[in-house]
Structure 1
Amino acid sequence: MKNACHIPVGTIVLAMVLGGCSGKDKDIPDEFGMKGPRQEILFDQEWKFLCSNATGAEDPVYDDAAWHRVDLPHDWSIVDIPGTESPLDPLAPGGISTGYFTGGTGWYRNTFDLPSDLEGKRISILFEGVYMDATVWVNGSEVGNHPYGYTSFWYDITDLLTFGDSNSIAVRVRNEGRNSRWYSGSGIYRHVWLYVTQPVHIPIWGTSVTTP
């Protein structure tokens, strides 16, 4: 299937310039220091994005220098089609069912340094919303797949991380075909969080209240 993603040429050039300025991984902010039994770190900044079905992009050493730099939340379906002033495409796979907005396949990557003093803690990643069919890799290992586009999901990624060194997270998002009866958007359209906890802890969504 022809990929229907579009990014203005100017933004691609800008991404190439920014990507070539520095090869240094970003550091996790000071908020990662444990100040209590649980830390919730907003993980929205400095992602790399490519609107294409890239091969091997889950590999930590994959060269994403030319990718577009984005902050989350992010929706690639609202980007104007090159040469037009509209994101609408009469040939969009979803047709009228998705309002003629385009979908396709997109990749997100984030590379960061993890402090060594966090070793012994448990670290999880939570995605509030990804549309849709999201597959997540950490340091090249597949963590899981979440097909549905309207629910949050999370993974404990502790055993795949390298403490005191660089780590990479890759997310492939696939929004193809007729899968909605309204505008759904495409991509990581809500916040992403990192959770740092003690080895013994209450899991995410681990408490509930029931009534008779």
Structure 2
Amino acid sequence: MELIDLSITHRGFAPHSIAISLRTAGCCHGMRHRPDCRILAGIGLLSVQPGIDGGFSIEADATYLQPGDIATDLLDWLNDRVPDDGAIVTWDKWWPAARRLAALADPERHPVLAAAAGDTAGRWRELPAADTWYLRQARAMPVPCICDAGVQVADCHSTVPLSLLPDAEIAIPQLKLEAIAGWLAWARQFADFDLDPIAAQAVRALEIWRATMPISDHD
């Protein structure tokens, strides 16, 4: 992860934007999860879009592995929600989120997500450590190898029991809050001191929305 990325500021604020958060857990090397032996267990999403009344439309959502799901199911969900334009904001989740999603996405099955994750010099804003040093993400305990007796680790294709991952009822609100935190870390670079009046308006709209719409697993 980069410590500083001046291009984040140079690219400016975008009224149409989303923020993405990821929950991953370390797992057995033999399970061969790309790109770094961490299973993708959940995705959070914040959408901030200009409203027809001159304000902003704000929504938070998240998805998490359910019985029978694999990471591809999570990517299907995200691909359907990534807009064709606008900024995409992420911050480090044990690895740059854009690189992780680019490695996992199937260009044919997830064309919008794959294209967006490959555009880190354009619409994708991967916030550097200097912008997010104060943010914290929820932790997930490593998942041990679960292979049949006598099977070599390299030949083990076992799945991850959901009981070994963070509980969905806890993780889903956390993912939403982490997406919100990442978006605010980006938007406040332009909103502070009213450097960009539109950014300041969007931040105020989010703060009002957050005060009236508490995040829970029922949002």
**TM-score, normalised on structure 1?**
0.25
More helix, by proportion: 2
Structure with the bigger percentage of strand: 1
TM-score (norm 2): 0.25
